[in-house]
A and B are shown apart, each in its own frame.
Chain A
Amino acid sequence: MKALYRRLGHKGLISLGIIVAALAALGTLPFWLDVDASYTGYYLFITCVYLTVAQGWNLIAGYTGQISLGTHAFFGLGAYTMAGLWLNGIGLYFFFDVTLMVVAGIAPAIVASIIGLLLLSRLKGDYLSFGTLGLAQIVYVLFVKGGKITGGANGIYLDASYFSSMRVYYWVALLVAVLATLAVWLLTRSSFGLALKAIREDDISAASHGVNVLKYKVLAFAMSAFLAGLAGSIYGYYLFHLEPASVFNMNWLFYPILMVVLGGTGTIIGPVIGSLICSALFAYGDIYFGGYHPIFSGFLIILVMRFMPGGIMGLVSKAPALWRKKEGAVATTTPE
C-alpha cells in the first residue's frame, strides 16, 4: 500500500479508487439490476460499443492528429467479418467467440494499413479526411452490390436463437471497452505515444527528429480500425441481421467523433464521459422526441464547438488556471 502511494501520490490513489469502485459497480450491475427488463442495460451496452469505437478514433485523431472519416467502414467490416466466419463454420463457439472477434478486428486493421499506406503518405489535413470518407463509401457500396457474397442490400442473417439474455452482451461490451481504454492509455503513455503526439504537433519536425512518420501514422490508423472492427463484431452479435445500411451507417462515424470531442480530444477520460452523455442523449432523445432527436445532437455539436472546443476535459484542465488568474498568478503548466 505504501509503495502504491509513493508511485501514484495522493491524487493518483484517489483516481485509482474511483476507477476500481466504478468498475466493481458496473461489473456487478447485472446482479442487482435486471438488465433485460431495464433500459439501462441496453443503454450501458451501446455506450460501451460506442466507447470502444471512440477510443480508436481518439487514438488516430486525438493523439496522432489525423482526422479519419472512415470509422464506419471498419465498424461494418468487423461486423461482416464476424458474421462471414460464423456462417462458414470457422471458429469454435461462433457466439461471442474470442477468435472470431479478434479476427473481426484484424481484418479492418489490415484494410486500414493498406488504405493508410496509400493515403497517409500522400494526404494531410482536410484532404486526408475526405480521402478516408471516400474510401469508406467505396467499401459500403461494395457490400451493397456484393451479391451472394455479402448478401447485398438485404445483408446476412445469423442464428438468433443464441440470444438468451442481455447479460452476456453487457459484460462482453464492458470488458472490451475497458480493455480498449486501458490499451489506448498505455499506448499513449509509452514512447509510442511520444511519436504520435509529436506527429500531431508537427509532422515535419517529428521526421527531422527521427520519427518514421508514415509508420506511426499507419500503426495508429490500423489500431483504431482494430477497435472499430471489434466493436462492430459485438454489435453484429446483437443485431443477428447485418445489412449495409445499419452496420455501415454514418452514425458509427459521427457519434464516436461527437463523444470524443464533447469529452475532450486527446484525453483518455474524455471519450468515457462523452460516450456516457451522448448515448444517454441519443437513447432518451429517441424515446421522448422520436425522429426529431438528431436536431438536439446537431445543436450540441454547434454549442460544444463554439463554447468548449477542448471538451469537458478541456474545461476541467482550465479550471485551476482560471482560478489562479483570478488570484493574479500566471499559469505555467496545463495538462494535455
Chain B
Amino acid sequence: MAAGDPLLVLDKVNKRFGGLRVIVDLDFQVNEEEIVGMIGPNGAGKTTVFNLITSIYKLDSGSIKFRGREIAGLPPHKICHLGIARTYQLVRAFLKMSVHDNVMTAAVYGGAHELSSKERTLSALELVQLESKRDVIAAHLTLSDRRLLEIAMGLASMPSLILLDEPMAGLTATEIDNLFTVIRATKEERKFSILWIEHKVDAVLDFCDRVGVLDYGAKIADACPDEVACDPKVIEAYLGEPPT
C-alpha cells in the first residue's frame, strides 16, 4: 500500500429519502495518504456521503470499496475495525464520561492492534494536546476541545482514513489555527488519509491535495484546489447563475 494507491472508492452511489434524491450516481475516490476536501452548498449531501461510508445509512445502489473490499452493508462497528474513523459535525463525544474514558473506549473497541489500548489512548491524547485535561468530563470542554477530543477518539483506533465533518464550524480564528496545526502534525506522524467536509472553502483550498464539489447530491467538480476555485460550475453553485 504505497502512497497514491486507491484506498476508498465510491462507485455510482445512490441514496434517496422518499422522493428526494440526495446522492446521485456519485463516483469518488480517496487515495493512500491523500487529503481530499469535499465542499458544496448547504444540503448538497456531504454529510450523507459520510453516513453512507460509515454505514449509518444503507445505500440504495452502487458500491463502496475500502482497500478493494466491498464495505456497503457492513455494520458500523465493523467499518471502524477496518480502519475508517470519523468525527461528527455536531460533536458526538460521550459527554458524561471523562476525556480519558472517551478516548479509551475508542481505543479498546476500535479494533485489534499491536499497541495496547492504553498506549494508543496516551498517544492520541498527546497528539491533540489534551493530556492535561484527561480527567475532565467531556461535557465541560469548550467546543474546540470537544472537536480535538473527537479527533483523538478517531486516532485511538489507528485508522488509515479519517472522515472529518466540518471540524472548523463555530470555532474562532485562533482555535482554527490550532486545529490546523494539530491535524497537520498528526498527519505527518501517522500518514493516514483524510476526507474533509468543510464549509470554509478557503481553508479546504489551502489544505487539501484535491477537492470534490457536490451540488444537489451530484459531483460537479473534482480536481486540484486551484482548478476547482476557477471552475465556473462551482462558482455558479455557490453564488448562483451569472446575470445574462
Q: How far is the CB of A330 from chain B (nearest CB, A)?
A: 9
Task: Tell me the bound Cα distance from A331 to B139 in angstroms.
Answer: 12
Indicate if the CB atoms of A197 and B136 lie closer than 8 Å.
Answer: no
Indicate if the CB atoms of B86 and A201 lie closer than 8 Å.
Answer: no
* CB of A165 closer than 8 Å to a CB of B: no
Task: Tell me the bound Cα distance from A126 to B113 in angstroms.
Answer: 38
Indicate if the CB atoms of B106 and A209 lie closer than 8 Å.
Answer: yes
Interface string of B51-71 (1 = CB under 8 A from A): 000101000000000000000
Q: Which residue from chain B places its CB closest to the CB of A190 in the assembled complex? A: B108
Q: Which residues of chain A from 191 to 233 have a CB within 8 Å of any chain B CB?
A: 191, 194-195, 197-198, 200-202, 204-213
Indicate if the CB atoms of A201 and B94 lie closer than 8 Å.
Answer: yes
Task: Tell me the bound Cα distance from A205 to B109 in angstroms.
Answer: 12
User: Residue among B98, B108, B140, B157 with the most chain A CB within 10 A?
Assistant: B108
* CB of B185 closer than 8 Å to a CB of A: no
Q: How far is the CB of B89 from chain A (nearest CB, A)?
A: 12
A-chain residues with CB within 8 Å of residue B92 when the two chains form the complex: 202, 204-205
Indicate if the CB atoms of A210 and B54 lie closer than 8 Å.
Answer: no
Q: Which residues of chain B from 98 to 146 have a CB within 8 Å of any chain A CB?
A: 98, 101, 104-106, 108-111, 117, 135-137, 140
B-chain residues with CB within 8 Å of residue A212 when the two chains form the complex: 75, 77, 109
A-chain residues with CB within 8 Å of residue B207 when the two chains form the complex: none
Indicate if the CB atoms of A333 and B104 lie closer than 8 Å.
Answer: no
Task: Tell me the bound Cα distance from A229 to B136 in angstroms.
Answer: 38
**The residue from B81, B94, B104, B135 contacting A210, defined by CB atoms under 8 A apart:** B81
* CB of B76 closer than 8 Å to a CB of A: yes
* CB of A38 closer than 8 Å to a CB of B: no
**The residue from A202, A211, A333 contacting B109, defined by CB atoms under 8 A apart:** A211
B-chain residues with CB within 8 Å of residue A200 when the two chains form the complex: 96
Task: Tell me the bound Cα distance from A213 to B96 in angstroms.
Answer: 18
A-chain residues with CB within 8 Å of residue B94 when the two chains form the complex: 197-198, 201-202, 205-206
- A334-B137 contact given A195-B109, A202-B92, A210-B110, CB 8 Å threshold: yes
**The residue from A194, A210, A333 contacting B137, defined by CB atoms under 8 A apart:** A333
Indicate if the CB atoms of B96 and A201 lie closer than 8 Å.
Answer: yes
A-chain residues with CB within 8 Å of residue B108 when the two chains form the complex: 191, 194-195
Indicate if the CB atoms of A198 and B54 lie closer than 8 Å.
Answer: no
Indicate if the CB atoms of B77 and A213 lie closer than 8 Å.
Answer: yes
Indicate if the CB atoms of B110 and A209 lie closer than 8 Å.
Answer: yes
A-chain residues with CB within 8 Å of residue B56 when the two chains form the complex: 204, 207-208
Chain A interface mostly: helix
* CB of B180 closer than 8 Å to a CB of A: no
* CB of B93 closer than 8 Å to a CB of A: yes
Task: Tell me the bound Cα distance from A212 to B54 in angstroms.
Answer: 14
Interface string of B29-64 (1 = CB under 8 A from A): 000000000000000000000000010100000000
* CB of B88 closer than 8 Å to a CB of A: yes
Indicate if the CB atoms of B88 and A197 lie closer than 8 Å.
Answer: no
Indicate if the CB atoms of B157 and A209 lie closer than 8 Å.
Answer: yes
Interface string of B172-204 (1 = CB under 8 A from A): 000000000000000000000000000000000
* CB of B22 closer than 8 Å to a CB of A: no
**The residue from B77, B80, B97 contacting A201, defined by CB atoms under 8 A apart:** B97
Q: How far is the CB of B107 from chain A (nearest CB, A)?
A: 9
**The residue from A194, A207, A332 contacting B76, defined by CB atoms under 8 A apart:** A207
Task: Tell me the bound Cα distance from A209 to B157 in angstroms.
Answer: 8
A-chain residues with CB within 8 Å of residue B77 when the two chains form the complex: 207-213
Task: Tell me the bound Cα distance from A206 to B80 in angstroms.
Answer: 10
Indicate if the CB atoms of A210 and B136 lie closer than 8 Å.
Answer: no
Task: Tell me the bound Cα distance from A331 to B101 in angstroms.
Answer: 19
Indicate if the CB atoms of B75 and A208 lie closer than 8 Å.
Answer: no
B-chain residues with CB within 8 Å of residue A205 when the two chains form the complex: 88, 92-94
A-chain residues with CB within 8 Å of residue B234 when the two chains form the complex: none
* CB of B95 closer than 8 Å to a CB of A: yes
* CB of A336 closer than 8 Å to a CB of B: yes
Q: Which residue from chain A places its CB closest to the CB of B141 in the assembled complex? A: A332
Indicate if the CB atoms of B80 and A210 lie closer than 8 Å.
Answer: yes
Indicate if the CB atoms of A198 and B136 lie closer than 8 Å.
Answer: no
Indicate if the CB atoms of B75 and A210 lie closer than 8 Å.
Answer: no
Indicate if the CB atoms of A207 and B75 lie closer than 8 Å.
Answer: yes
Interface string of A255-288 (1 = CB under 8 A from B): 0000000000000000000000000000000000
Task: Tell me the bound Cα distance from A329 to B77 in angstroms.
Answer: 41
User: Residue among A210, A213, A332 with the most chain B CB within 10 A?
Assistant: A210
* CB of B153 closer than 8 Å to a CB of A: yes
Q: How far is the CB of A197 from chain B (nearest CB, A)?
A: 6
Task: Tell me the bound Cα distance from A212 to B110 in angstroms.
Answer: 10
What are 9 contact pairs spanning A and B, CB under 8 A?
A205-B94, A206-B109, A207-B80, A208-B54, A209-B85, A209-B105, A209-B153, A332-B137, A336-B96
- A: residues with CB less than 8 A from B are 191, 194-195, 197-198, 200-202, 204-213, 331-334, 336
- B: residues with CB less than 8 A from A are 54, 56, 75-77, 79-81, 85-86, 88, 92-98, 101, 104-106, 108-111, 117, 135-137, 140, 153, 157
Q: A195-B109, A208-B86, A333-B140 known; 16 other A-B pairs, CB under 8 Å?
A: A191-B104, A191-B109, A195-B105, A197-B94, A197-B101, A202-B92, A205-B94, A206-B105, A208-B54, A208-B56, A208-B85, A209-B85, A209-B110, A211-B109, A212-B109, A213-B77
Top 8 A-B pairs, shortest CB-CB distance: A201-B94, A205-B92, A210-B80, A207-B76, A210-B109, A209-B106, A210-B110, A194-B105
